[in-house]
Chains A and B, each alone.
Chain A
Amino acid sequence: MIDKQEGFKQIKEMLEAQGYIADDPIVMSVFLAIRLDKPILIEGPAGVGKTEIAKVMAKALNTELIRLQCYEGLDAHHALYEWNYQRQLIHLKLEEHSGKTIEEKEKTIFSDKFLLKRPLLQAISQETVPVLLIDEIDRAEEEFESFLLEVLSDWQISIPEIGTIQATRIPQVVITSNRVRELSEALRRRCLYMWIDYPDFDKELSIVKNKVPGIDRLLAWQICHFMQALRKEKLDKTPGIAETLDWAKALASLHIQHLDKTLIENTLGILLKDWKDIRQTQTSLSELFEAVGVKSKLESSNG
């Protein structure tokens, strides 16, 4: 478990112990975020392990992960709290002839029992410091972003019917964005910024070896070379590390020891999720495969 006073090296080791291959910039950001109590804003293409960082941090800090998945139309109420309207309505109906005064009725229906805590309220009312993951913030509207900014700076939420709830502990916040929309300057300034790109060959290879332990050495090599070559193609949806791992796991479970063209063609659906991309790759498969073949031969003769 990571302590708040832990050093850079320990954090690197802890992340690695959780199976996350992190290079120095990532470790530095995580380290500073924990030590300075700052939110991290992670941007990067889909499937490069942005969300994973929050999960790993929660595990390493041995704390709960509270996730707020953003979507178009998400408003403050869905993120903070909601009154259980249906329950309130039924309650009022049942108490119609109870002879209670309006004030009394009001007091009961606006009590904790009728309050539905949504992720942000949950996060500030925890006993231990949780990791709050605000996933894909770019999907939510700008209004929500400004609202979030307010919560992130004050760490208090006011509910008109109850009063103001102040955070007992400030959560460790991780915000991710796929850059579907440009985020505001104000939000950026409040956070530590981290950009995660597609991994290079060495990093990808160590991730594959780490996550798919039983995989054949040559196969892992070929898979990573193929992925690196595939990402250079002009595709609509470039596959990320998540796809590499899916593919590696699939091939490893079939006990395959090396790639060949038919095999790639048959399993292309694991990597590419768009039929146009698949068709495009099928036509250029020979060249791609040749690049992989040459490279792995070179390396096996060197190694």
Chain B
Amino acid sequence: MSNLPLIDRKTELSAHMVGLSRYLRKHAQIKTGPAEIAEVLQALSISPIQHPEMFKLCVKSILIKSKAHLGVFDELYAKYWKEVEASANAKIKEQAHPTPVNQAQNKILSIKEWLKSSPAEEEIQTATYSANPAIGQRDFSSFTEEDLIELYPILQSAARSLARKLLHSKTSRGNKTLDYSKTIRRSLSKGGEYWELVYKERIKVPRKLVLLCDVSKSMELYARLFLQFMYTFQLLYRPLEAFVFGTQLHPISSILQKEVFAEVLNALQKKKLDWNGGTQIGSSLHTFISQHPQSLTGYKTVVIILSDGWDTGETALLQKSMQFIHKKAHKVIWLNPLAGNPNYQPSVKGMQTALPYIDVFAPCHNINSLRGLSQYLK
């Protein structure tokens, strides 16, 4: 790398570190600010950075704060210096990289149109649509493409009310714990006599939800709607972790936290998810338990899996993973859009395997079934 002369002059070095930090923030959401840059400069001044690799290592040690960023750093670091070399005046021009979005290929982006409407409008629309009971009972699959756009505000409203319901539900009274220090302090004013026992206050902790959504071909329509539902829900409700899977598992909690849903969709597009592909529930769930074990801890964690159970993978792996999830989680809820049909029998191989490890098996084919989720989550 021919970047070493750049670090000879202090001014250039700091300019480059600012540039690099901005570059990292832009391309990988690695959040570094002036404090980190100052620290990098301080670190560089004391480190043996004669070798480019050591220089990189030093910068990396300071700027990287999570495992997820470790891999992307190397790539972006190399790219950054290449861009520096490429630009004639050696100043960093942050080029906007408009990502080509293939609208025709993925219908999900049609939601974008609707999202452009103002929030005030949404509220009004919500109120009118909720008044229509029929729409709540209609199966999602019976909606046409145009009707679906009308459905989103209602979906949002349902998600919001579910989140509020869960956040404001009352906790049961449990065992009381004596607050020794307050009891003693209060007794002192009575001359050391224990007139009154003080108990510790109970703090209400919202239970954690883990959402796993199947986005394979057979689930295409429902996944689209459920993503929208998840997005609105997580705006109000934390702690929550969300994943999508087809043949592979992808964590999407951080993606969902974007300000506009269109950005969420854009980011999901870039992830090259296997929309419309096959389903490997077993191996996806195994990835979930082995790589994201932190998701299953927490206060009375509830795992919600949204899938029709069509699985092309190994049954043994699915069974093993479901068993593990069942053991660790407080409750496992499986939402199957097909279960809305009164004649439905969970006869698919995947569904059969998973059933023994499911606490609640429920439909999710219309708005009412999504609203009904609150009864399982309280």
Residues of A that sit less than 8 Å from B by CB: 7-9, 24-25, 28-29, 31-32, 35-36, 41, 43, 83, 85, 88-89, 92-93, 96, 102, 105-106, 109, 138, 179-182, 185, 188-189, 191-195, 234, 236, 276
Contact = CB atoms under 8 A, between A and B. Distances in A.
Contacts of A35: 43, 46
B52 interface: no
Given A83-B181, A193-B64, A195-B70, A28 B191 contact: no
Interface in B39-97: 39, 42-43, 46-48, 53-54, 57-58, 60-62, 64-67, 70
Secondary structure dominating the interface of B: helix
B271 to A, nearest CB: 19
A92 B192 CA distance: 7
B189 A8 contact: no
Which 7 residue pairs across A and B have the least CB separation, nearest first? A188-B65, A92-B192, A181-B294, A85-B180, A193-B65, A8-B48, A180-B294
15 contacts: A31-B47, A32-B62, A41-B65, A85-B180, A85-B181, A102-B191, A102-B192, A106-B188, A109-B184, A181-B298, A188-B65, A189-B35, A236-B289, A236-B324, A276-B320
Interface in B175-191: 180-181, 184, 188-189, 191
A274 to B, nearest CB: 11
A8 B188 CA distance: 57
A106 B187 CA distance: 11
A179 B296 CA distance: 11
B172 interface: no
- The secondary-structure label for the interface of chain A is helix
A93 B194 CA distance: 11
A23 B51 CA distance: 16
Given A36-B43, A83-B181, A96-B192, A24 B57 contact: yes
B345 interface: no
A138 B298 CA distance: 10
Interface in B208-256: none
B151 interface: no
Contacts of A96: 192
B192 A25 contact: no
Contacts of A9: 48
A189 B43 CA distance: 15
B293 A180 contact: yes
A93 B180 CA distance: 16
A191 B35 CA distance: 12
A114 B348 CA distance: 66
A129 B297 CA distance: 35
A92 B289 CA distance: 53
B31 A185 contact: yes
Given A28-B47, A36-B42, A88 B297 contact: no
A187 B289 CA distance: 25
B264 interface: no
Contacts of A102: 188-189, 191-192
Contacts of A31: 47
Nearest to A93: B192
Given A32-B43, A36-B39, A102-B188, A179 B294 contact: yes
B324 to A, nearest CB: 7
A248 to B, nearest CB: 25
A9 B324 CA distance: 46
Nearest to A31: B47
Given A25-B61, A36-B42, A192-B61, A179 B31 contact: no
B16 interface: no
B290 interface: yes
B317 interface: yes
B207 interface: no
Nearest to A92: B192
